């Protein structure tokens, strides 16, 4: 018995001593944190889904007009599927037009007796976050805003996003809207987490990267009566705008502002051969400080540049062993790693979702992922699988038939 106890103690000692080897993760130097004064935030690689930094990534918060990323994704999808064209026109309702007379709710002016092209409305919703334009486009897709909200919810659910709170197409608080413009309670407001938004953005940019041709425009020209009026993009990080920094070539994506949501921003820019996405939710600071969300965004990018490098971690046709199985890569693989990090310390496994890089094992292609990247990866699935339950009809035998069958099997 004593011998057995000694063996157990020895095994436990070995496990404790070697635990750091198996649990080591890729981290930047201790003490380095980006200066983002916000409720939640994130920076990740859009192509791979690798998260470099995150703060309160699972906390559901009000998102304001970041909602329009989902709305305009579905509008883009409808256009691509041929349901209507950019040249089609839409006339605003009296309620939609009257909203554009309220300075706190809109910017571009819409008149109830005029028609506007889908393209002009689409640009206005992206570039200057026109609420009425987003509503008109949603109605064009689904027939009503309520039906469109149900489509938004269904889309998020299909992407594996749980617990999303989506009540309207614009991101305003329901109290600012007419009853036929929303679902839910009168004071409801759309809420998502940084993780949820990351999944949304990856779907949007994976499927329709051409959206960036619109979001990168620093100016919007929009019809105003018999003339056209020029508006500045709300994204102040675009080239030519106030907060632009040389070397940080942002080309999107969307601001969000309400009393409950505060000032938020989802940004994106090409960097080192890939695409980076930044998320800042409810930037803190003085109300008169109109640059705080963009400054926090710049801090996220600076943190990445100062502490990480995008390195080739595997070469083409390189072999990897995982649980005694051998896999071979199809192409060079890259990952963001802290500077001076030893690539040999990376660990790999078969991916549990749709992220990862392709490798082959015995003619079978699988997705592999780095398991010790520190902040991990987005919870990304291309489309949630819905398994159909097939109910087979079973012929129920009578009690007499069962007795006869029992005795028949005895002989």
User: What does the pLDDT average to over 38-57?
Assistant: 97
Name the one residue in this structure whose structure tokens are 């949007």.
Answer: 204
Mean pLDDT of 139-155: 98
Q: What angle do CA 291, 297, 302 make, to 5 degrees?
A: 120
Burial class (CB in 10 A: 0-12, 13-18, 19+), 268: buried
Selected catalytic residue, list 65, 216, 296, 335: 65
What is the reported pTM? 0.87
Contact 154, 74 (CB under 8 A): no
Is residue 321 annotated as part of the catalytic site, yes or no? no
Active-site residue, selected from the candidate residues 55, 68, 191, 292: 68
Q: Is the pLDDT of residue 327 over 80?
A: yes
Annotated binding site: 254
Residue 27: pLDDT band (50, 70, 90) is low
Minimal CA–CA distance to 281: which of 298, 268, 262, 295?
Answer: 262
d(CA 145, CA 212): 25
For residue range 186-225, what is the model confidence (pLDDT) as tens digits?
999 999 999 999 999 999 999 999 999 999 999 999 999 8
Is 335 among the catalytic positions?
no
Q: Look over the chain and give the mean of its residue pLDDT values, rounded to a whole number.
A: 89
Q: Are 166 and 152 in contact (CB under 8 A)?
A: yes
Instruction: Give burial (CB, 10 Å; 0-12/13-18/19+) of 410.
Output: exposed
What is the pLDDT confidence band of residue 226, given thresholds at 50, 70 and 90? confident
pLDDT value at residue 103: 73
Active-site residue, 68 included: yes
- HEC profile for the chain? CHHHHHHHHHHHHHHHHHHHHHHCCCCCCCCCCCCCCEEEEEEEECCCCEEEEEECCCCCEECHHHHHHHHHHHHHHHHHCCCCCCCCEECCCHHHHHHCCCCCCCCCCCCCCCCEEHHHHHHHHHHCCCHHHHHHHHHHHHCCHHHHHHHHHHHHHHCCCCCCECCCCCCCCHHHCCHHHCCCCCCCCCEECHHHHHHHHHHHHHHCHHHHHHHCCCEEEEEECCEEEEEECCCCCCCCCCCCECCECCCEEEEEEECCCEEEEEEEEEECCEEEEEEEEEECCCCCCCCHHHHHHHHHHHHHHHHEEEEEEECCCCEEEECCEEEEECCCEEEEEECCCCHHHCCEEECCCCCCEEEEECCEEEEEEECCCCCCECCCCCCCCCCCCCCCCCCCCCHHHHHHHHHHCCC
The predicted pLDDT at position 229 comes to 96
The mean pLDDT value for 334-344 works out to: 94
- 18 pLDDT higher than 70: no
Amino acid 26: pLDDT: 59
pLDDT interval class at 303 (50, 70, 90) = very high
Tell me: the pLDDT tens digits for 1-10? 555 445 554 4
Q: Is residue 137 a contact partner of residue 154, using CB atoms and an 8 Å limit? A: no
Binding site listing for substrate:
254
What are 270's strand-pairing partners?
275
Residue 6, pLDDT score:
52
CA distance 382 to 74: 16
Rounded average pLDDT over 297-310: 97
Q: What is the pLDDT of residue 19?
A: 42
At residue 382, the pLDDT reads 73
Q: What is the mean pLDDT of residues 350-361?
A: 92
Domains of the chain with bracketed CATH: 38-307 (3.40.710.10), 310-370 (2.30.140)
pLDDT in tens, 260-283: 999 999 999 999 999 999 999 999
């Amino acid at each position: 018995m004593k011998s057995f106890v000694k063996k157990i103690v020895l095994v436990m000692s070995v496990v404790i001593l070697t635990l750091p080897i198996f649990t080591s993760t890729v981290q930047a130097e201790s003490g380095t944190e980006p200066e983002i004064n916000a409720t939640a935030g994130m920076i990740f690689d859009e192509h791979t889904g690798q998260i470099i930094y995150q703060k309160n990534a699972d906390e559901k918060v009000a998102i304001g007009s970041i909602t329009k990323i989902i709305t305009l994704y579905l509008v883009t999808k409808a256009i691509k599927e041929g349901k209507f064209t950019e040249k089609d026109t839409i006339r605003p309702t009296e309620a939609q037009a009257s909203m554009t007379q309220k300075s706190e709710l809109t910017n571009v002016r819409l008149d109830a007796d005029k028609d506007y092209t889908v393209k002009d409305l689409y640009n206005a919703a992206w570039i200057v976050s026109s609420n009425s334009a987003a509503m008109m486009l949603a109605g064009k897709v689904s027939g009503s805003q309520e039906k469109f909200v149900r489509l938004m919810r269904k889309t998020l659910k299909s992407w594996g996003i749980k617990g999303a709170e989506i009540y309207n197409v614009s991101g305003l608080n329901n109290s600012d809207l007419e009853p036929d413009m929303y679902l839910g309670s009168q004071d409801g407001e759309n809420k998502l987490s940084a993780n949820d938004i990351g999944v949304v953005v990856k779907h949007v940019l994976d499927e329709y990267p051409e959206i960036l041709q619109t979001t990168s425009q620093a100016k919007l020209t929009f019809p105003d009566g018999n003339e056209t009026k020029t508006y500045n993009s709300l994204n102040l990080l675009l080239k030519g705008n106030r907060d632009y920094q040389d070397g940080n070539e942002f080309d999107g994506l969307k601001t969000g502002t309400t009393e409950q949501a505060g000032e938020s921003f989802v940004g994106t820019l090409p960097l080192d051969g890939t695409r980076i996405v930044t998320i800042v939710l409810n930037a803190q600071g003085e109300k008169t400080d109109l640059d705080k969300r963009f400054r926090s965004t710049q801090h996220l990018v600076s943190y990445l540049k100062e502490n990480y490098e995008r390195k080739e971690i595997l070469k083409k046709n390189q072999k990897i062993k995982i649980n005694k199985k051998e896999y071979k890569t199809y192409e060079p693989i890259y990952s963001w790693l802290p500077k001076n990090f030893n690539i040999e310390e990376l660990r790999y496994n078969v991916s549990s979702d749709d992220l990862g890089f392709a490798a082959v094992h015995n003619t079978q292609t699988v997705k592999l992922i780095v398991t010790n990247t520190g902040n991990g990866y987005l919870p990304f699935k291309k489309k949630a699988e819905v398994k159909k339950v097939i109910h087979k009809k079973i012929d129920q035998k009578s009690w007499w038939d069962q007795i006869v069958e029992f005795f028949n099997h005895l002989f």
